[in-house]
Amino acid sequence: MVEIKTRAELERMKKACSIVKEVLEKVEKEIRPGITTKSIDNLAENIIVSRSAIPSFKNYRGYPATICASVNDVVVHGIPSDYVLKEGDIVSIDVGAYIDGFHGDAARTFMVGNCSDVARRLVDVTKESFFKGMEFAKSSCRLSDISHAIQSYVEDNGFEVIRDYYGHGIGRELHEDPTIPNYGKPNRGIRLRPGMVLAIEPMVVEKKYTVKTLEDGWTVVTEDGGLAAHYENTVAITTNGPEILTL
Ligand code: MF3
Ligand code: CO
């Protein structure tokens, strides 16, 4: 069942979402060759805790960190480590925060120094595909209109969308109904209504969309070693269209 949030609940969700936004803005400033993904995790955790919030991902099904830091061919759920970012890497940072009874969730892919043309294009197309989806994030549209818009834009630009991971409803739980694929035919699924809050998160790859999970049980990588990017925001459907709470 898809939870409908009241105006008051949406206002409360903005707290969690603004902390997530703050984390991503501060992380962006720190991204440079020579820093470890673990140091980004520490920064994120310090900000969240200093705002009296709780990292949403830590201990979620045993996940060991505050952020996911997914470098190059890692699609999602990369665990922060002693890996040192180097010039030309791309790194997706995904973070969630919980405060006042609600979660916020967002992700960005950052370029480390100068990146290849294809990396740059992948990062741009992934972000832009989210905004193509936003054109359909309004009542009167159906869920798969968002999915279809994302997939079409990505494929028109010569990339592929991941099939094995999805966006999701969000609120009192990190993952709520509905499940939001980044692909599919238009005009399918639930009709969108004011008060629905959705984490819309295109995951896009340079080559084939097939993935595998490493032995740590978390790290999802492309099978062919192609680059991957991720862009996510928590979005409220309102009578005035989509409100992007983490931007
Ligand atoms: N944004 C991701 C998601 O919605 C992050 C989850 S990581 C996890 O699934 F560790 F919490 F699972
Ligand atoms: Co999410």
**CATH class of residue range 7-244:** alpha beta
Rg of the chain over Cα atoms, rounded to whole angstroms, equals: 17
Alpha carbon 208 to its chain centroid, in Å, reads 20
Please state the domain extents for the chain: 7-244
**Residues with Cβ–ion distance below 5 A, ligand 2:** 105, 199
Residue nearest atom 5 in ligand 1 by C-alpha distance: 94
Walking along the chain (247 residues) 10 residues at a time, the average pLDDT comes out as: 98 98 98 98 98 98 98 98 98 99 98 98 99 97 98 98 98 98 98 98 98 98 99 98 98
Give the mutation target among 59, 60, 182 for probing the ligand 1 site: most ligand atoms within 8 A of CB. Answer: 60
Q: Tell me the whole-structure pTM to 2 decimals.
A: 0.98
Q: In which element (H, E) is residue 221 found?
A: strand 220-222
Please tell me if the CB atom of residue 106 comes closer than 6 angstroms to any atom of ligand 1: no
pLDDT value at position 120? 98
For residues 205 and 119, the answer to whether their CB atoms sit within 8 Å is no
CA separation for the pair 82, 212 (Å, rounded): 22
pLDDT value at position 143? 98
C-alpha dihedral sign at 133, 136, 141, 145: negative
CA separation for the pair 98, 228 (Å, rounded): 27
- Structure tokens that stand for 95 in this block: 């973070």
Cα of 57 vs centre of ligand 1, distance in Å, is 6
- Structure tokens that stand for 151 in this block: 């997939």
